[in-house]
Structure 1
Amino acid sequence: MRTIDVNDVVDNARFTPFHWNVLFWCTLVIIFDGYDLVIYGVVLPLLMEQWQLSPMVAGLLGSSALFGMMFGAMSFGTLSDKWGRKKTILLCVVLFSVTTVINGFATTPWQFGILRFIAGLGIGGVMPNVVALMTEYSPKRSRSTLVAVMFSGYAVGGMMSAGLGIWIVPTFGWQVMFYLAVVPLLILPLIIKYLPDSVGFLLRRGRDDEARRILQAIDPSQSISASDNLALPAAKESKAPVLDLFKEGRALSTLMFWTAFFMCLLMVYALGSWLPKLMSMAGYALSSSLMFLMVLNVGAIVGAVGGGWLADRFHLKTVLVVFFIFAAASLSLLGFESPMWVLYSLVAIAGATTIGSQILLYAYVAQFYPIAIRSTGLGWASGIGRNGAIVGPLLGGSLLALALPHHLNFIAFAIPGVIAAVAVFLVSRRVGEAQAARTAAQPASMASSGG
């Protein structure tokens, strides 16, 4: 009878069809998530015209989903450590899909805002859980890349919103964009069938046979039998997991992660909500303005995948600091009159280094915290960061109400990039590496009975 270290199997596994399966379904969920989130920036110009919304009211409507995301990330991120990743992800998908479809029937700004808040609960709850699940199943040598590739689905969803919006919104109206959110519900049975749960959660719940099947799929060369014990490093369930984020030298780093999330999400959602409107005000047609939003998300995919590749070869901290500096620079230059190809290039760089940095931040947080508090760490970083996402649309509305010169709007969006670069620089690389070393060296003391 053998004792098999689960972490060792996962960390050293080759990329197998099992990994493709997890990557595909997690990415698909994030694509739906990104579509539902970016949809507001796509329909905003038409909503402002149809409902005669002031910039401030439009900003408040944009922030309604983000309030929901804040509470969803913190609550579902923490609860999934008890409920399991899969069950929480499925619940969140149903929540944001159903309410987004209903959102298409809204006839007043109040109805629209309330439904966007409820959808935001599901959108916010999905993100930390798919990141935690992908991190848990990724081989160590390609972990950052796989999380970044998975999370680039957010930008793919944003591109789908922008691309469909260019065709659908002027012709069929904004409501159809919301009706399309029914698609995740149609494929929900497939997600239930093929998306695995966390192997750590399965072992804690005594579902050892399921865990063995998953480990056999992760590494077919293991030939795992019913007599083998499966073990994880001891992970004591805490009654106050949020407090654990501040223990063992993690306090400053936790606060800096929260600051970086706040500033990064402020930039992401300020751009996502107001970029088409700002470009419309600068004299571009609606279709051209939506094209800027599409380019922003194309850049995000390049930034996420490229940043993940760089992080697996250098370090996430270094890559993130450089990305945030480039984000601030590109946004500052975006407000000045330039040839169209220069503007598109700057928007692509901004997408790569703002949305791309958000994705890399999730990967960094997931690798920084031990598995017992990983979803809690991700959920709270994301949840606190949602305050920045809420401020972003409000900031855009306030700037437009002040009627400032065009370039000052973008400089205001760039300042958070500088603050985020400083925050990531102050995260303790030593603490994160010490945690990784402890996890690798700790004896496998949480073993199953072998049936």
Structure 2
Amino acid sequence: MRKIDVNQVIDDARFNKFHWRVLFWSTLILIFDGYDLVVYGVVLPSLMNEWKLTPVQAGTLGSCALFGMMFGALILGPLADKIGRRRVIAGGVVLFSIFTVLTGFATDTTQFGICRFIAGFGIGGVMPNAVALISEFAPKKLRSTLVAIMFSGYSVGGMLSAGLGVYLLPTQGWQSVFYFAAVPLILLPFILQALPESVLFTVRKGQVEKAQEILQRIEPSYIPRSDDDLSVSKVEASKGGVMQLFSEGRMASTLLLWASCFCCLLMIYALSSWLPKLMINAGYGLGSSIMFLMILNLGAIVGAIGGGWLGDRFQLKNVLVVLFIIAAVSISSLSLNPPTAVLYFLVAAAGASTIGAQILAWAYVAQFYPAAVRSTGLGWASAVGRTGAIVGPMLGGFLLGAELPLHYNFIAFAIPGAVAALAMMFVHSRQNQRQVSMTGKAVLPE
């Protein structure tokens, strides 16, 4: 009998066509994910004018999708560890596509809110499973970079949403921007064909031939044999569950990761929802104000990919701490009424250090937990973080409703950056937990 260490084969594999295919389709999914989330900030000024919404009402309505994401992450993240990530990703794509399109047909805030909630539920299930899948298949030396590239699709989707908004809103109305979300439904058969199931999931389910087929695609030099004993570390093979997030020395780090995700997502959704409106209040036109969302997401791409490259060479945790500090500084500096060129730079820096940082935070969370609870860990981090995403639009609505000076809004949005940096500093960067080797001897992770 030949023993095959599945984890080792994946870690040592060379990047090939299989990895390209998974990366391409995962990134495409995240593009539509990002589009569906950022689109609310794009249509918000038009929606407030047409439906005569107060800032508090608009902030609450913006949080509907985020409530859905929280429940989607809590339910669909752990579910994928039981039934497979591929199925959950496909189901999430169907949900968020259909109900984002239906949002364009809403005639009142109740219909709008329900559609956004269900769409958010689907998005909440897609994100942690897409991250978990690419994290599992990526060669170890490229893991942070590939997750960052994949998640930059979120920012591309945000830029696409803003770009279409500039073009469509003046002539076609806010409803037209939501109809574009039908495209993933057309691509769903190709997504199902291209995305493989988690190889570690198939091993745990005893689907040996299927696992061998996927493993050979990951590493073509592996030639399957009938007597192969596909094995994963006992940590990877252990039964998943929420309590595993707090076992083996992970409790403090789990709570600190949740805190940093909460703070970062608060900043992201406060800015994504209210930046165009704040810029209008500062004297910019609607088209120019929406362009700030494009710059925010362009900065996010640079921050995510550049930060991923640095994270593969240095400790990813340290990169995150620096980015969170930059977020606090850049967002608070928006309150100083800088020249236009400096303002664009600060908005791009804010995108790099909020959206870009959160992309890297998902990569860090995925690497922190063993595969058996990776989707669960990402799902719960996402769900807790989404409470911050819910607070963000509501906080912006409250601040605007209170008619405070403009700089108060940016300072309030910047404070969570400092808190996130402090929380991340105390996360155990090497997972302070004892892992068990294949021989049964307890060893510290390398």
TM range (shorter): over 0.9
Give the C-alpha shift of residue 97 in structure 1: 0.5
- CA–CA distance in 2 between the matches of 1:237 and 1:95? 31
Give the C-alpha shift of residue 430 in structure 1: 3.8
Aligned-partner residue type, residue 324 of structure 2:
F
Aligned-partner residue type, residue 16 of structure 1:
N
SS of 1:24's partner is helix
- CA–CA distance in 2 between the matches of 1:243 and 1:176? 44
Alignment of 1:442 with 2:438, yes or no, is yes
- The correspondence of residues 404-443 of structure 1 with structure 2, limited to 5 A, is 404-431=404-431, 438=435, 441-443=437-439
Determine if contact 1:71/1:121 at 8 Å carries over to the other structure.
yes
Query: Match for residue 117 of structure 1?
Result: 117
- CA–CA distance in 1 between the matches of 2:260 and 2:87? 29
Query: Match for residue 449 of structure 1?
Result: none
Determine if contact 1:299/1:349 at 8 Å carries over to the other structure.
yes
Determine if contact 1:270/1:392 at 8 Å carries over to the other structure.
yes
Give the C-alpha shift of residue 53 in structure 1: 0.3
Q: Which moved more, 1:218-227 or 1:378-387?
A: 218-227
Determine if contact 1:256/1:424 at 8 Å carries over to the other structure.
yes
Alignment of 1:183 with 2:179, yes or no, is no
Alignment of 1:84 with 2:84, yes or no, is yes
- CA–CA distance in 2 between the matches of 1:237 and 1:429? 22
- CA–CA distance in 2 between the matches of 1:200 and 1:158? 33
- CA–CA distance in 2 between the matches of 1:398 and 1:443? 58
Alignment of 1:389 with 2:385, yes or no, is no
SS of 1:346's partner is helix
Query: Match for residue 274 of structure 1?
Result: 274
Residue-by-residue CA offset, 1:14-33 (whole Å, 9 max, x unaligned):
10101001101111111110
**How many residue pairs are counted as aligned between the two chains?**
440
Alignment of 1:218 with 2:218, yes or no, is yes
SS of 1:152's partner is helix
Going from structure 1 to structure 2, the CA distance change for 1:304 and 1:393 (only over 3 Å counts) comes to same
Query: Match for residue 103 of structure 1?
Result: 103
SS of 1:230's partner is strand
Q: Which moved more, 1:243-252 or 1:99-108?
A: 243-252
Give the C-alpha shift of residue 386 in structure 1: 0.5
Query: Match for residue 31 of structure 2?
Result: 31
Residue-by-residue CA offset, 1:322-380 (whole Å, 9 max, x unaligned):
00000000001012212111000000000000001110110111111111111111100
Determine if contact 1:266/1:416 at 8 Å carries over to the other structure.
yes
Aligned-partner residue type, residue 395 of structure 1:
L
Query: Match for residue 228 of structure 2?
Result: 228
Residue-by-residue CA offset, 1:192-226 (whole Å, 9 max, x unaligned):
11110100111222322221111111111222234
Alignment of 1:287 with 2:290, yes or no, is no
Determine if contact 1:5/1:444 at 8 Å carries over to the other structure.
no
SS of 1:429's partner is coil
TM-score, normalising length: structure 2? 0.96
Query: Match for residue 305 of structure 2?
Result: 305
- The correspondence of residues 364-379 of structure 1 with structure 2, limited to 5 A, is 364-379=364-379
Residue-by-residue CA offset, 1:421-442 (whole Å, 9 max, x unaligned):
000001112425x56xx36x43
- CA–CA distance in 2 between the matches of 1:208 and 1:430? 31
Residue-by-residue CA offset, 1:301-331 (whole Å, 9 max, x unaligned):
0000001000001011100000000000000
- CA–CA distance in 2 between the matches of 1:305 and 1:95? 29
Determine if contact 1:11/1:138 at 8 Å carries over to the other structure.
yes
- CA–CA distance in 2 between the matches of 1:226 and 1:286? 64
Give the C-alpha shift of residue 171 in structure 1: 1.2
Determine if contact 2:204/2:237 at 8 Å carries over to the other structure.
no
Query: Match for residue 317 of structure 1?
Result: 317
Aligned-partner residue type, residue 426 of structure 1:
F
SS of 2:249's partner is coil
Give the C-alpha shift of residue 236 in structure 1: 5.0
Q: How much is the aligned-residue C-alpha RMSD, in angstroms?
A: 1.4
Give the C-alpha shift of residue 228 in structure 1: 2.4
Give the C-alpha shift of residue 403 in structure 1: 1.1
Determine if contact 1:258/1:381 at 8 Å carries over to the other structure.
yes
Q: Which runs of 4+ in 1 moved over 4 A?
A: none
Give the C-alpha shift of residue 2 in structure 1: 1.9
SS of 1:123's partner is helix
Determine if contact 2:264/2:354 at 8 Å carries over to the other structure.
yes
- CA–CA distance in 1 between the matches of 2:430 and 2:52? 53
